[in-house]
Amino acid sequence: MRARAVVLTALVAIVLPSTAARAQQPGTAAPRALTAADYARAERFMSYNTTPLVFRAGIRPTALPDDRFWYRNAIPEGIEFVLVDAARRTRARAFDQGKLAAALSRAADTTYDALHLPFTQFEFSPDARAITFDIGSPPPPLPSLDVRPRRRAMYGSAPASRPGARQRRGRPGRQARCLHPRLQPLGA
């Protein structure tokens, strides 16, 4: 027990003077405050600024059912779609991007470049002779309505045909939604 106390006292005697000496040195000032220029300099190295400068990296393969896969590859000229056949040990463009860009340009009445196509994902047809892709988001679906007659509206006043019927009111501060008395959304 006495040996532990001696060792502990020796450690305290060694550590305390060295810590006090370091604290009194003139070269150890408090850390400086960061400025907007520091943040701007650091932001240049964020991934969203450096990713366009890195080519042939970050490949995410999409498996196909027959020992093949395709991936999208960033090259200095743009983007290429590559098809790899592992069984045959081949690597080639997944489709003729130039021919597809020309057909899309004619159909959309705009200009597309072979290495700057307007999609990032595609699917092969079952016979692998055609591809399917989405160029943009489709318009939102229209609501489906059931045209069966209803007896009363969901919100608003009660039918006038019932004597002594109470007036229905929405919550204070909220606008009441009214549906046509003959139309009801499906599932309501």
Domain assignment of residue 61, yes or no = yes
Alpha carbon distance 114, 112 (integer Å): 7
> Given its phi and psi angles, is residue 135 left (phi above 0), alpha (psi -120 to 50 degrees) or beta?
alpha
How confident is residue 66, by pLDDT bands cut at 50, 70 and 90?
confident
Domain assignment of residue 16, yes or no = no
Domain count, the chain: 1
Q: What are the tens digits of pLDDT across the range 41-57?
A: 999 888 888 877 888 88
**Domain containing residue 128:** 51-132
Q: What are the tens digits of pLDDT across the range 69-81?
A: 999 999 999 999 9
